[in-house]
Structure 1
């Protein structure tokens, strides 16, 4: 950017080098964090504005075109860094975990982006296969940062804590400490014991998972008491308590965020998830989940106002 400024000053307004200032945020997006990219982009905009005034380019389109170029490259760079961060954050879950088969689907409400606040993870722990699906309050990069903290603690604590209640307490402390009361996370935790054919569930203010039985019937196991979302434990309320649901071969367990059930059609009708459970009948888990996702999109007429994550578990 300094070299471009020097060349522009030496060559004068006829040189046409001003728009090359956008190379600064372009390279910053390749090697830095989104904050650094935004900072470099802001400096580039100031530099571009100063040179434009000095060269007298704002009397023509050239100055405004150069400013638009710098702003566009900066936004693209910030978006690319954020998407790269979330691709690490929401890394692919293992297709097979012990005796279980897993598939995930994630759709962000941010147009043409994968940036959002929903989270999911599957961990093979000494205490069984442990799963989390959650929804961070808000959207964008701030929600991604909170989701990163929750997933980081879950991935570690899932191997250490002997029960889901202790695991949820670890997550509660993390969100309360880092979000400082400004964010909360709804989440449902599951621990699958294939030897007992049972799923242990713990719900923190999240929509209940759906179990599709081998005979096609559905079950929405509700918690014995509704606990507050993670990060709001300081306000009291019922502590999270585990509950059990049968989960045998032939059954399917679908965990999801409210972006699925709160998707509305043009008349304001919510998506009838339980009525569409038959879409999960495909023998391939990914194809089954893709069919359900496409149906949600059709129901909402292609528009999405919230992030939507789904995680499907079935026996191999």
Structure 2
């Protein structure tokens, strides 16, 4: 585990870095060597989510912007499970892109056909909580442990896979989340958006990797926050890919939601992105768990730890 943060002179306690990971300047890092000399590891993350129409209320955050039940929001998202998943999945498979599924594990019971389809395509599953309408805010440790244990058990029973990763439900956490998932043997988290390369996370036990995930090129942000057209979003993905491939030793994640990218008017430009990446030849098209395994097995994790410790020592000196 890397050393803790180094506060600047005169920094007040409340302003200190929380110490989730060490600092590594981008310009001084050695390039990560991906298999077969590839320059950028590309993984696609379909979020297969279940949204309850009238979920239990959380005092810290409302699940829906409308008064419950929110039929409009529910129906929009349910389109992804009823229709758009298949459109998205077929385009991915056509161009050789496996999915790394951010899974609301309740999908295993509510819509097992979708989980079975993803499993048959060779997709990997990691946990996105039980439902995307139930948040971690306000949970005690026993409740949070129960969700992690449920996730491990449910995915294993449905697919035979043992989850390696975690993306918190609706990106909600407690101060103990990262320590707990590492304690249960998970090897990566997608909840830290601070880098374009994997990095060690400071946890109490085990080894945990921050897997580069993206809000900037997440289709939710593209269409809901930045108001992009389908072609603008596709162009953004291509520019993201080209730059990361030029820099080398990087990771590109494409986070998707079927109810957005799988719409008939959006799927065509997205397919052009997959065709561009597959034809370029510089991409290791893979799954998030494979990236984590390679980073651990190839010495990348140990090198990054040493790099953080070295830099922290230089700053202290």
Give the alignment's TM-score, normalised by structure 2: 0.29
Q: Flag the structure with larger Rg.
A: 1
Give the number of the structure whose residues are more often strand, by fraction.
Answer: 1
Q: Which has the higher contact order (CA 8 A, sep 6+)?
A: 2
Give the alignment's TM-score, normalised by structure 1: 0.29
